[in-house]
Structure 1
Amino acid sequence: MEKVIVVEGISDKTRIAPLIAEPVTILCTNGTVSATRLEEMLLPFEGQDIIILVDADASGDKLRKLIKREFPEARHFHIDRSYKEVATTPLRKLIDVLIAADVRVLNPVAGND
């Protein structure tokens, strides 16, 4: 099954993309979106493995709530609240989250920043 990872911003996408060792579509919501916009974004990927990886802040929480309502089959993965943003989470922690989401990563022992 193909995988789609939903992140909030381009900085999140550029942070995780180099870690991934399989074909994955990474979608940016560019912050909180409306239910209509979210549907337009995710409907083409219905039936695929939708993985949610958004910031651990108020806008990320709001987005998660909307996604849970509109796409209950999506799988949610979380970064530690102490890092706040996906873009500022240490690579090692992001690798751990991706592995937990069954996403193949490049050299999982690397990334000690």
Structure 2
Amino acid sequence: MGNLHDKKVIIVEGLSDKLHVQKIIREEIDIICTHGTFGVEKFDEMLYEYDLDYRDVYIFVDADESGIKLRRQLTVELPNAIQMYIPEEYQQVELTPENIIANELVKHNFQIDPFYLM
């Protein structure tokens, strides 16, 4: 295993988003749930616990109003984070078909279970 800094981090909103993404990925990464809320204290905890300043961080949140607001806040705090998106018609990561999630992950060089590309 590599060290912590070699491991990518995906930030999602909720546990169901995390589980949806987790089942598709075939590499060791950290998936952090914000649970839709975002405060300075909570962010400082995440920054410290996951050492976010020194890792590849991906923001993968819903395409609804709260997701857009969260993406904006996270982008201010993590300007080097890489943005990942779902098509607007699905609104939520957890409701997006697995093949669409898989394609977005592949686009960003994640190792995935090829089953989900079908």
Normalised by the length of structure 2, the TM-score is 0.87
Matched, 1:110 2:116: yes
Find the aligned partners of 1:48 and 1:69 in 2 and give their Cα distance: 16
- Are 1:35 and 1:70, in contact at CA under 8 Å, matched by a contact in 2? no
Q: Which residue of 2 aligns with 1:36?
A: 41
1:29-52 Cα shifts (integer Å, max 9, x gaps): 000311331232134232110011
The answer for unaligned runs of 5 or more in structure 2 is: 1-5
- Are 2:61 and 2:67, in contact at CA under 8 Å, matched by a contact in 1? yes
Q: How far did residue 111 of structure 1 move?
A: 5.5
Q: How far did residue 91 of structure 1 move?
A: 0.2
Count of equivalent residues: 111
- Are 1:35 and 1:66, in contact at CA under 8 Å, matched by a contact in 2? no
The answer for unaligned runs of 5 or more in structure 1 is: none
Q: Which residue of 1 aligns with 2:79?
A: 72
Please, what is the CA RMSD of the aligned residues? 1.4
Say which of 97, 100, 106 aligns to 2:104: 97
Structure (1 or 2) with the greater helix fraction: 2
Find the aligned partners of 1:111 and 1:99 in 2 and give their Cα distance: 9
Matched, 1:47 2:65: no
Q: Write the letter of the residue equivalent to 2:34.
A: T
Q: Which residue of 1 aligns with 2:24?
A: 19
Find the aligned partners of 1:99 and 1:78 in 2 and give their Cα distance: 12
Find the aligned partners of 1:20 and 1:94 in 2 and give their Cα distance: 10
Q: How far did residue 68 of structure 1 move?
A: 1.1
Mean Cα displacement is larger for which, 33-42 or 77-86?
A: 33-42
Find the aligned partners of 1:89 and 1:53 in 2 and give their Cα distance: 12
Find the aligned partners of 1:19 and 1:106 in 2 and give their Cα distance: 6
Q: Write the letter of the residue equivalent to 2:103.
A: D
- Are 1:32 and 1:59, in contact at CA under 8 Å, matched by a contact in 2? no
